[in-house]
Chains A and B, each alone.
Chain A
Amino acid sequence: MTNKLLVVDDEDGIREVLRITLTDAGYEVFTAENGFTGLDMVKTHKPDIVLTDIRMPGMDGMALLKSVKQLFPDIEVIMITGYGDANLAIDSLKTGAVDFISKPVNQDVLDIALKRANDRILTREKLADHTRNLEILVAEKTRKLAESEKRYIQLFNESPAYITILDERFRIVESNNRFKDQFGDDPGMYCFQVQQQRTIPCDTCPVKETFADGLSHTAEMDVTLKDGHIRRFFIQTSAIPDDSGRISHVMEMCTDITVIHDLQDHLAALGLHISSISHGIKGMLTGLDGGDYLIRSGLEQKDFHKISNGWDIIREKIAMIRQMVLDILFHSKNRTPDMQPVSVFDFIQELLTTMDPRIQKAGIDLILDIPGPSTDFEVMMDKTMLFGACLAILENAVDACISVKADRKNLEIQVQVVETPRQVVFKIRDNGKGLDKRYRQKIFSLFYSDKGNKGTGLGLFVARRSVQQHQGEIHVDSEPGKFTEFTIAIPKKTSDI
């Protein structure tokens, strides 16, 4: 309800009557006898409604209406018209007056005009309130949206997983901070290029499968970080459809499970130790029984040749048991490499000195392409670890040659050391029995051996582990009946192992 009202009229009687009537109706009423005084009072008292006569000397009602609307557009103005002022009344409505009433002033007509003015004021106030509320609401929603956006970006970036969004060409269109830290942030990178150093997509790609069927797929892969470290990742994918429902992108989330993977290796090893090692041990014990029997039989029959044969068997089996026990101890211990600078020349010499008696006895030629004392260089390595790895490979090479000794002349083992700017590469190649494809695939597996009772299946497994702990790589190439070549490449400088 409005409460301030100004009456402007040059007739004292009308002013007074209206003052009394309107005061009685509950308004606080001010009066002015002309336009100028009226405008001053408008400025001073800021009434809600102005009732003004149209015809007044000096400033008339129309001029007052224009000034009021210019200064205070929210003040409602009701015009009081005398006879013959119909055109002026219409003009005043066009100028912004809310209504006009005729003289003599009829109470009912006045009430209607005032109600109309009050309604308009009320509507405007409601509109103003509504607008104000709307603005507050929009501001609040905008703030929440900004907060939520910030939160989602934070969650995306700070996620403990590596997250990427990939397009159909396996290009990374978005990635989180963790991914950028470890793989870089070059625009237009392909995931297979960044994570696998490949030029074409991986054969078993869960992203490809998700693009094909829209379902979530998983995979485990070894990936190479930008600093060269190799980690085991568990990969999960999910489809991101566009507005039309077509899968435009796929999200790939990778979790580093290297520690779990290593633990799995250990647990698997532990389980297999019990079942598989026992098989190897049974063979060795039978061999020892055999040696014992031959010696006893030889002693009874005074057959020195038999005794010698028996003793050879026992020595061979003791050596195998010793090696097996050492391999098991080595494998079961989670040993941190003790990196020291080691002369490559000394390393190879020591290796060959250890193996020389077996190589000589088997009649195998040893061909060396290694640094001499003058071209020697040092490499950071855990000598004990890498020595064991090379020894296992060299022993396999000797065994492979011995197994074809009856059919082949010119048995040879080549040992080569190649120095590149970043790596030192050891190659051990024999021209023995070779390995067919199925053996090559399993050769580094735990307890796998193609040597039947002669092998424990630990040597190459431990060798690979040792090389990996040097952040190096081990590969095998072979052709059945022709050759087997093992390549060990280790970085010259390894840090933070």
Chain B
Amino acid sequence: MTKKIMIVDDDPAITRYLETLFKDNGFDTCIADDGKQAMDVFLEQQPDLITLDLEMPEEWGPRFFRKISKKGYTTPVIVISGLSGRTHSIPKAEAFFAKPFKPEEVLAKVKAVLGV
């Protein structure tokens, strides 16, 4: 069954980039523009993995992660952010990538986490 990745980032250029990258490599995707919208998309789409930006206008990434953790979800998260302190933001994250990232590295990590 095709794995689904949820992309959370407020920059449409980056969501389109990741969407194309993942789709080109055989994944399904869904998109949320900020942490607030992310909860609705997450509950509706039930993704297998999340790529999460940290700094967003309405609600920051770490808060969204706390909310889904409280609800008992253990969906793996990969942080992709330009913030220098990204490695301290979500201790339980599978990986941290700095913007601008190398697509092959992100892809390799996604595949490893999802076991495909």
Contact = CB atoms under 8 A, between A and B. Distances in A.
Interface in A286-315: 286-291, 293-294, 297, 306, 309, 313
A452 B11 contact: yes
A291 B13 contact: yes
B56 interface: yes
Interface in B1-35: 9-11, 13-14, 16-18, 20-21, 24, 34
Q: Is the interface of A mostly helix, strand, loop or mixed?
A: helix
A282 to B, nearest CB: 3
A107 interface: no
Interface string A433-462: 000000000000000001111100000000
Given A289-B103, A450-B57, A283 B14 contact: yes
A285 B57 contact: no
A317 interface: yes
Contacts of B73: none
A279 B83 CA distance: 6
Given A452-B11, A454-B11, A286 B55 contact: no
B16 A290 contact: yes
Contact of B20 (A275, A285, A286, A293): A293
A316 interface: yes
Contacts, number: 72
A286 B100 contact: yes
SS class, residues of chain B in contact with chain A = loop
A75 to B, nearest CB: 105
B16 A309 contact: yes
A286 B21 contact: no
B39 to A, nearest CB: 18
A297 B16 CA distance: 12
A106 B9 CA distance: 132
Contacts of B34: 452
B57 A287 contact: no
A165 B24 CA distance: 76
B82 A279 contact: yes
Given A286-B99, A287-B11, A451 B17 contact: no
